Structure 1
């Protein structure tokens, strides 16, 4: 089954679907208030996100550190970002990217 990347006004959704109509139906079911801005049938059946493109490179295990900060902050994003900045020394924008990407992964 093909993998589709569907961008809405609020989300980027990666889903398997038989065709564009089925992929649109997934979006409508999950996010009925979102409008589809772009839909791309991926050339392969996997999805890869480059950590370096997100600014997550180096020897530090950023995911573990981010999840630890989220846990200490009890899911409070702003507090977790502050903790991450304090523990790693990164700037606000980089800390935000790391914390938000880990929140999506279900820390």
Structure 2
């Protein structure tokens, strides 16, 4: 089954679907108010997210472990988790936000 990348006005969705119509149905079911801006059939059946694009390239730190710990300690409260992450790592607000949000998306 092909992998599709679907960009809407609010989300980027990565999903397997039999064809473009089925991929559009995924968006309609999950986000009925979103408008599709771009729909692309990926050439391979894997998806890679660059840690560099998320600003998570420090070799001295495992941001996933720290971010997940901060999320756990804050009971999922994003703002509190960002504050905890900044205190733990010395990161600026933008780096902390990216680390926490990317881990929230991964289902910490």
Which TM-score bucket, shorter chain as reference?
over 0.9
- Which residue matches 1:41? 41
Unpaired runs of at least 5, structure 1: none
Provide the aligned length of Structure 1 versus Structure 2. Answer: 107
- Which residue matches 2:30? 30
Unpaired runs of at least 5, structure 2: none
TM-score with structure 1 length normalisation? 0.96
Runs of 4+ in 1 over 3 A off after TM superposition: none
- Which residue matches 1:3? 3
SS in 2 for 1:38: strand
- Which residue matches 1:68? 69
* Structure 1 residue 82 corresponds to structure 2 residue 88: no
What is the Cα-based RMSD across aligned positions, in Å? 0.8
Distance 1:30 1:40 in 2: 18
**Shift in Å, 1:59:** 2.8
SS in 2 for 1:14: strand
